[in-house]
Amino acid sequence: MRSLVNVPPLPGTRLVVFLLAFSSFACLLGQFYGLWTMRMFGMCGLPPATALLVFLAWRHRHDAPGLNNPHTWIVQGATGGVLAAFAYDLYRLPYVLHGEPLFKMFPRFGELLLGATQPRWLVHSVGWTYHFSNGAALGIMFLAGVSVFRRPWLFWGPVLWALFIEGMLLLTPYAAFFGLALNGRFVFLTASAHLIFGLTLGGFCRWRLAR
């Protein structure tokens, strides 16, 4: 049986984990604003950030479980975020099947990361992987941030977090960059999908971490 050590994280660890997870979004935001290309950041920024997150999770794997443990923020946050991303996509799938272009940006992600349009199977694989990395990043960022509070909202907190992220996304050139019509229908579909994401992440956090 492994020993559990109740060692508080070093000062600044939450911020470090939050920023390392945010690098997944920084990859795309830099492309929007001409700071760097997704290909460059995907090659030089994301791999070391991901490796550091894996190292921090491994380094704290024997600490006492709970919201004071970086292993919890990273592993549980990433797991909940990926599951929430699946729920987010399943909610949007019927609209996609009826012609809504809600998945059109995923192959574009792959093209930008690869710097190529072929082969299409690789473009789609990389694009979808990047999409789910964003879901994992949102889960990690949420747990790293909310764990600073003594009694964090583990269910409604993710809902507010997901809707906040959606609001911030609408302030970026996201829709114009991918050729999406920024109208009432688009706002409803993307906001309601983020609501599903938040409810799923909240349910997971409540189930796994409420105790």
pLDDT tens for 169-200 read 999 999 999 999 899 999 999 999 999 999 99
What is the pTM (predicted TM-score) of this model? 0.93
pLDDT of residue 22: 98
- Residue-wise pLDDT tens digits, 50-109: 999 999 999 999 888 889 999 999 999 999 999 999 999 999 999 999 999 999 999 999
Handedness of CA 8, 18, 72, 54 (dihedral sign): negative
**Where exactly are the structural domains of the chain?**
13-56+71-209
pLDDT of residue 1: 41
